A and B are shown apart, each in its own frame.
Chain A
Amino acid sequence: RKEVEQDPGPFNVPEGATVAFNCTYSNSASQSFFWYRQDCRKEPKLLMSVYSSGNEDGRFTAQLNRASQYISLLIRDSKLSDSATYLCVVTANQAGTALIFGKGTTLSVSS
């Protein structure tokens, strides 16, 4: 089983749509979880950390289910500028000494 698995997409949605991305991870020792955004040929940038209680930042909502080792990202009211690749990221161990990146899910929002 791959350490962090994501549906690669692409997800093609119209502006205003709601879209959800899922991610599963294999290491039960992982303690920290993130969603990063990467635009084409650019560096990954932190979108949001994911907490056990779930967290929301504007149109973005992240959820974590430790029992199922499952992370999700919900984007509401999609904008053209949301088009990017979304990377699911978890720490490799309890010490957080390294991050494990998923291969990413590509989102394309069209007008």
Chain B
Amino acid sequence: DADVTQTPRNRITKTGKRIMLECSQTKGHDRMYWYRQDPGLGLRLIYYSFDVKDINKGEISDGYSVSRQAQAKFSLSLESAIPNQTALYFCATSDPSGRAADTQYFGPGTRLTVL
């Protein structure tokens, strides 16, 4: 089984709709991240969380919110989706300790289309 899973894998929605993307991990990592990837722009950080009580804005948090329901779960919400939020969304985890510190492990991605 995959260590980092994302649901749904694909989603088409309409402008103005609320949508939630979910991420679960079995790696036991405290740190979790949400990124979006757009063609030609690379990955950009939306939000990150270092533990259940810690939530931080990333580079492009406007229009998004997150919830860290448990160590293993980190959800991203678009309260009112707009077409320029069409992108590939990735969740990632990391463990700050040890030789692999700062290494991030990604989920398979959610392809979101907002019409």
Contacts and interface: CB of A to CB of B under 8 A. Distances in A.
B39 to A, nearest CB: 10
A91 B105 CA distance: 15
Interface residues of B, number: 25
A91 to B, nearest CB: 6
Given A32-B101, A103-B41, A104-B42, A41 B106 contact: no
Interface in A1-53: 31-32, 34, 41-46, 49
A32 B102 contact: yes
Nearest to A98: B45
Among the interface residues B40, B42, B44, which one has the most CB atoms of the partner chain A within 10 A?
A: B42
Contacts of B40: 103
How many residues of A sit at the interface, in one of the four size bands? Answer: 20 to 34
A97 interface: yes
Given A98-B48, A104-B42, A43 B90 contact: yes
Contacts of B104: 46, 99
B103 A43 contact: no
Contact of B96 (A96, A98, A102, A103): A96
B115 interface: no
B42 A87 contact: yes
Contact of A44 (B44, B45, B106, B111): B106
Interface string B31-74: 00100000011111100101000001010000000000000000
Contacts of B33: 98
B6 to A, nearest CB: 9
23 contacts: A32-B101, A32-B102, A34-B102, A42-B108, A42-B109, A43-B108, A44-B43, A44-B106, A46-B104, A49-B100, A49-B103, A96-B101, A96-B102, A97-B48, A97-B50, A98-B33, A98-B45, A98-B58, A99-B45, A99-B102, A99-B104, A101-B43, A103-B42
Interface of A: 31-32, 34, 41-46, 49, 87, 91, 96-99, 101-104
